[in-house]
Amino acid sequence: MIEIRPFNTLGGADHGWLKAKHHFSFARYHDPKRMGHGTLRVWNDDEIAPNTGFPPHPHAEMEIITYVREGAITHEDNLGNKGRTEAGDVQVMSAGAGIRHAEYNRETVPAKIFQIWIETNEKGGEPSWGAKPFPKAERSGQFVTLASGFAGDVDALPIRAEARVLGATLKAGETVEYHLGPARHAYLVPATGSIEVNGIRVNARDGAAIENERALTIKAVENAEIVLVDVP
C-alpha cells in the first residue's frame, strides 16, 4: 500500500522566521490519522530565515536526524558539541536520557531542512551528536545509507533504532530499487523533482507512506533528490 500525502495537504505553521510543514502531528498541528508511520514519529519540512533559529530546548528518548537541503544549520548543545551542517550533509542527535540543544541559521540565505524523528529502542543512555558529509555525487543513481541502527552500515551515522535513513539523486529516467523487509514501513519524500514509486506519482516534497510492499521501484520523472526512511 502506498498512500500519497501531497505537500499542500500537510499541517504547518508560519512563524515569520520559521515556515514549517508537518507530515505528522506536531506542536499545534494534530491529526489522529497522522501520528506517525511505524516508529517514524516526525518529518518536518522547515525553512529557517537567516540569522534566526531554535533557542536551547530539551529532548529525550528520540533519534533526531537533520537532512540539510539548502543552506546550513549550526548546532550547539549542553555537552559542548558545536558544528555546522551544510547542504549535502546530515547530522544525528541521540537524545538519550536528555539533552538541551539549539539550532541556528547563521547564514545569509534561508536554511531548508528535513528534520526526522525516530523512536529509539534504547531507553535512557548518554546523549550524543554527530555530523557527516554525504556528497551528492556518491548518491547518484543509487541509495546511500545516511543514518542507521544496523551494525553492517559502517559508513552511516549511528542511531539507536532499528531503522535506516537513505538518500539518492536520480537523473530523469533513472530507476533505483529498494527492498523492504517483512513488517517494515517506509516513508519517502522527494526533496526536489518528481518520481514514480511502483508506478504512483510523487511530486517534490510530497510524502509517500508505504507498507506491505516488499519491493519498491523508484523512477525519476525529472531530476530528483530523494530521502527514504525504513522503520519497523
pTM confidence score: 0.96
**Collapsed DSSP state (helix, strand, coil) of residue 157:** strand
User: Alpha-carbon distance 184 to 211, whole Å?
Assistant: 7
Q: What angle (nearest 5°) sits at the alpha carbon of residue 1, between those of residues 165 and 117?
A: 30
Q: What's the domain count of the chain?
A: 1
Per-residue confidence (pLDDT) for residue 190, from 0 to 100? 98
CATH at residue 134:
2.60.120.10
pLDDT tens sequence across 57-100: 999 999 999 999 999 999 999 999 999 999 989 999 999 999 99
**Mean per-residue pLDDT, 103-114:** 98
pLDDT tens sequence across 211-221: 999 999 999 99
Question: By the 8 A CB rule, do 105 and 52 touch?
Answer: yes
Question: By the 8 A CB rule, do 208 and 2 touch?
Answer: yes
> 183: domain range?
2-231
Written as nine digits, the cell of 165 is 535513513
